[in-house]
């Protein structure tokens, strides 16, 4: 495999990692809001934060799976040389 394509693939993998980290940061921030709601309950905000938490968690799972699949493909191509 040519080195330029491999570097592009590594760059894509790095961007995927960045996306995953961003989603995990969002989950952390949502958890802080949920914790704050223990002191100042708001059912509508709690419902919204729980839904947002679930969506962000699903996004992390999707990105992790995409990363794993992409990395396996990258390794296969790399080992063909």
What confidence score (pLDDT) does residue 81 get?
61
Tell me what the mean pLDDT of segment 15-39 comes to. 97
HEC profile of the chain:
CCHHHHHHHHHHHHHHHHHHHHHHHHHHHHHHHHHHHHHCCCHHHHHHHHHHHHHHHHHHHHHHHHHHHHHHHHHHHHHCC
What confidence score (pLDDT) does residue 54 get?
98
Domain count, the chain: 1
Is residue 55 situated within a structural domain?
A: yes
Is residue 71 situated within a structural domain?
A: yes
Tell me what the mean pLDDT of segment 53-75 comes to. 96
Model pTM? 0.85
Which residues constitute the domain of residue 67?
10-79
- Return the percentage of the chain with pLDDT > 70, whole number: 98
């Amino acid at each position: 495999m040519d080195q330029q394509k491999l570097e592009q693939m590594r760059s894509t993998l790095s961007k995927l990692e960045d996306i995953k980290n961003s989603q995990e940061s969002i989950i952390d921030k949502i958890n802080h809001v949920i914790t704050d709601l223990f002191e100042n309950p708001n059912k509508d905000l709690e419902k919204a934060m729980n839904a947002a938490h679930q969506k962000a968690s699903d996004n992390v799972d999707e990105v992790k799976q995409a990363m794993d699949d992409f990395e396996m493909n990258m390794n296969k191509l790399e080992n063909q040389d």
